[in-house]
Amino acid sequence: MQMGHYLPRGLPEALHGLASLALDLRWSWNHGADDLWQAVDPDLWRATANPWLILESVSDRRLDELTHDQTFLQALQRQLAAREEHFQAEAWFTSRYGATFSGQIAYFSMEFGLSESLPIYSGGLGVLAGDYLKTACDLDVPLVGIGLLYQQGYFRQALDAQGGQIEFYPYNDPTMLPVVPLRGDDGEWVHVRIELPGRTLSLRSWRAQVGRRTLLLLDSNTLLNGPGDRGITSELYGGGPELRLQQEMVLGIGGWRLLEQLGIDCPVCHLNEGHAALAILERARHFMRCTGESFRVALCATRAGNLFTTHTPVVAGFDRFPPRLFARYFQDYAAELGVPMEELLALGRCHAGDAGEAFNMAYLAVRGAAAVNGVSRLHGEVSRGILQSLFPRWPRHEVPVGHVSNGVHMPSWDSAAADALWTRACGKARWRGTLQKLEAALRQIEDEALWRFRMEGRQRLIVFLKERLVRQLRVRGASGEQAGEGAEVLEPDVLTLGFARRFAEYKRTNLLLQDPERLLRLLGHRDRPVQLVIAGKAHPQDREGKRLLRQWQDFFGRPELRGRVAFVEDYDLVVAGQLVQGVDVWINTPRRPWEASGTSGMKVLVNGGINLSELDGWWAEAYTPEVGWALGDSREHNDVAGWDRAEAEQLYQLLEQEVIPCFYRRDESGVPREWVGRMRESMVQLTMQYSSNRMLREYVEMHYIPLAEAYRRRTVKVANELHQWYGQLQQHWARMHFGNVVSNRTGSGYYFEVQVYLDDMPPQAVAVELYADSAPGRQPVKQALQRGEPLAVTATAYIYRGSVPADRPVEAYTARVVPLHAEAWVPLEANFILWHR
């Protein structure tokens, strides 16, 4: 494919380099070229922060002027040289794995939040995916993103005069976005085709550049399709089940076909949520076409390279499709795979024989992956419970779901002042290595410097808010004078609390409003005032979310709150960046355990903000008293309303008795030493741990490298061996049973002899173990037994022997049989298990 130079319009030759800079979304977190765009057109830059739109919009006269501006041309050459230096520099992955890893990691996501100039995201999942690509650029991890180019993206928000939410859906004009058509070596625009009932869908492909990494995007808005099909990629998360299924076919099936069409070798396929699970089927289908093997063998061969990351904390959050709808779209596909429709549907069902059960994309992802992970330690535990039904006889802790805690791309979220502070302490390349030496450097920063840094961040936020609120009020019909008066909000030296998130019931955005009068007193205290900044959207169909949003608007309308509160409309990446750089305390109040990770609070760390959050998601593993404040008791509660009231009381007490006094307790020089101490510990202990640098390195080391190696080993021969092994398990498992089980005390342990009847199954296909559940202060025990002599019977049967410690009663141990194969992941690939009792 062609990845080289692309020019908008007819740029003068001296300015050709501007196109390369504008199309490289690395500018969204590396601000060295900002002054260039400011010089090209300051008004457009201030309004859009979109270099590509500026190049497409600026006049020929202005471009001609720039060709004679030597200062500008020299600055352009410096930026081009810096970009080339970045491309040539050796990074972490290159130095560690570059000589041994071949191919790329295909990273599928329904949304990518890279920049406001490319609005194809709605919330945390997309922002995480954007941060992931940026980090892959920094560390030079060979990763290619696959997503959809939406015609509308997510909605834009405004409020009417009564505080109700209004939704707008501006059109994404591809010519004004930092993307270009993806062209093949012959110069033709690359199209991908997938089959829908009674017709073929044609998909255009686009390329976005993220430094050293590429994001490939598909869209259906081409005249080759009928009017209805052109709208398949019209809106992110819009429409009903049929449109969602169509979109997921475009992402999973169309995305994998695009990779194959481009000849990109991807040993690892990473599914960021179950939306992309259909890539599993398409990957297997392609293997079938290349080898002539059956679908079952192909799935066995290809799943070795598939990784599924779930972000969903409840079963209801998984995408599910009615079986009739799924069958209508996949009837011909199943025939091509050579399997009955019921067998294909079974891959997405908990109970294969239940003809009425919906097709669950997460279940397909589990059944087609070699590894599954949640996005925080607690979410891993929750996910094991959610997916327990797929492994019904296995202990919950052995349900094969691990975790890699999320992180955020710190260079995208730090302010210019934070970048300068960290650069002075830790160097410019701090986020491109292993982060090992940063802690000691941060501890050398003086308290006074940290406090000055925090005050300046708050002051910049207030300047931003004033300008933003003036625009909001003018849009609602206020005069210039009225808008100016209404925007006289917040003070630069007052403790500033902030929260911003989707307005949804489980996020409990109105926990602070449980006692409005108490909150009013807290905000209006004469000697220790507090100010509050809020942002967030409610889903257009979420009536409860809109009610919660309206409740805040009613509260903000009270005249005594003037100058103490601000609601920022149209929460997006720009607003998020300003908030996390300026607030003193970030508040997050989800109902545990519904916050899978919750990355918003991670973004304040690099800017010196402190978290006050529910012990859920990432905060459940990150919290210690010296780095912030915690809400809740680390448990779940059935009395939802009662516990909400209890936690609201706890939140008020934390603010009144700890947070506010700590902020206003100053020494003789005016520095709140205790507060700065928390700032420092938060920055030192948490910023590196919850950076996407750490997160991506964990994915590489825990998953990408092992999965790539396993996939390369899964030749046709190995896949057939595994398929045969699985067939033996299916054939014999129901007739396997235990004989006598004898135990004796021997010194400090127990000695067991276990008879197992294998029903003519090869003994090397299974393992016999002693198992004991966890006990107070003790981890579960899993001890393999050694196969001894065969029993004198007609069926295959053996005595298995072994010893375990006597640190718990002998009754705590039981024998079990589990599948065994050196190349298989058990129980992901074979969830058989036989218990003695």
For the chain (length 837 residues), average pLDDT per consecutive 10?
57 91 89 88 88 90 94 94 88 92 97 93 93 96 98 87 87 90 90 97 97 96 95 90 97 98 97 97 97 97 98 90 97 97 97 93 98 97 96 96 97 93 87 85 93 96 90 78 72 94 90 94 92 94 92 90 90 92 96 92 97 97 97 92 94 97 95 96 96 97 97 96 96 95 92 95 96 88 95 86 93 97 96 95
Q: 275 with 248: CB under 8 angstroms?
A: yes
Per-residue model confidence (pLDDT) at position 155: 86
Cα–Cα dist 343/328, whole Å: 15
Contact 137, 210 (CB under 8 A): yes
The pair of structure tokens assigned to 63 is 């471009």
Per-residue DSSP letters for 639-654? Answer: -HHHHHHHHHHHHHHH
Q: Look up tokens 């908990």; give the residue.
A: 350
SS3 sequence of 714-753: CCHHHHHHHHHHHHHHHHHHHHCEEEEEEEEEECCEEEEE
Q: Can 92-406+703-713 and 727-835 be said to share one CATH topology?
A: no
The answer to whether 273 and 217 are in contact (CB under 8 A) is: no
Q: Where are the domains of the chain?
A: 13-88, 92-406+703-713, 414-457+492-690, 727-835
Q: What fold is seen in the domain 727-835?
A: Immunoglobulin-like (2.60.40)
d(CA 675, CA 682): 11
Helix (H) or strand (E) holding 247: helix 241-249
CATH top-level class for 414-457+492-690? alpha beta
pLDDT in tens, 84-114: 888 888 899 999 998 899 999 999 999 999 9
pLDDT recorded at residue 739: 94
Angle at 769 between CA 767 and CA 770, to 5 degrees: 175
CA dist., res. 390 & res. 349, Å (int): 9
- HSE at residue 419, side-chain half, CA atoms within 13 A, is 14
pLDDT for res 8: 64
C-alpha–C-alpha distance, residues 86 and 137, integer Å? 10
What global pTM score does this model have?
0.95
Q: For 326-339, what is each residue's pLDDT tens digit?
A: 999 999 999 999 99
680-690 core/surface letters (b: 16 or more CB in 10 A; e: else): bbbbbbbbbbb
Token pair belonging to 281: 């089927």
Integer Cα distance of 260 and 752 in angstroms: 53
According to the model, what pLDDT value does residue 4 have?
A: 45
Domain 92-406+703-713, what fold? Answer: Rossmann fold (3.40.50)
Share above pLDDT 70 across residues of the chain, in percent, rounded to a whole number:
98
